[in-house]
Amino acid sequence: MSKRCEPSAIIRTRRCSGRNIFLRMRIGALVALVCLASCRTRPLSRIAQQSDSLDLTQLVPRDSTDSALVVPRVITTPSVVLFWLRAADTLSRDDQADTFDDLKYYTAQVAPALAASGIQLVATNADTVYVSLPNAARRTILLSGLDYPYGYLLIDPGGPERILTGVYEDGDLMDELRAYFDLPDDSTSAPPRATT
């Protein structure tokens, strides 16, 4: 009789250990899902809003991957996005420095006109920009694969975007801004306020 009990005890042990394995797998899967969910506690729009507060001078061409600017922008208002993509890192150090200095200089020349017109100036190293549309929809704009991996993206939500690649001198850049945003010739002054 003891011989008959041994096989059933072995079978019972296997069944119990099999159940324990599945229970352990379920617990492991649950722990993995909780860990995965906790990694993404903030929505993408909140992350993008935090990165929008960065100053234009933080867009550094030496290593475009070290910046918080690699987070894709979400544009909700008329904006000029100064972009400097990772592909620009293939330029020599001297070319990078010269090009970036020119880009910053000419951007600084038109910044007062943008501010006076209520147009936001932001910078990014991300090759994707999102435009916020009604009903919580977004339109994606890809900047990779262009003639130059740096330049300007002009966005007026609700209309088509305009991409200006390369470095534009301030006069040419201002002409492009006037044409796209329908700015007056004297756009450096603040728009007149209505009085009652």
Superfamily (CATH) of domain 44-181:
Glutaredoxin (3.40.30.10)
pTM for the model stands at 0.63
Nearest to 149 by CA among 161, 163, 166: 166
State the average pLDDT over residues 120-129: 92
pLDDT digits (tens, 9 = 90+) for 69-117: 678 889 999 999 999 998 888 888 899 889 999 999 999 999 999 999 9
Would you say 64 and 88 are in contact if contact means Cβ atoms under 8 Å apart?
Answer: yes
* In the block, residue with structure tokens 């007062």: 112
Q: Give the DSSP per-residue string, 109-148.
A: HHHHHHHHTT-EEEEE--SEEEEEEGGGEEEEEE-TTSSS
Please say if the pLDDT value at position 166 is more than 90.
Answer: yes
As to burial, measured by CB atoms within 10 angstroms (0-12 exposed, 13-18 middle, 19+ buried), residue 176 is middle
Pull the structure tokens for residue 83. 């972009």
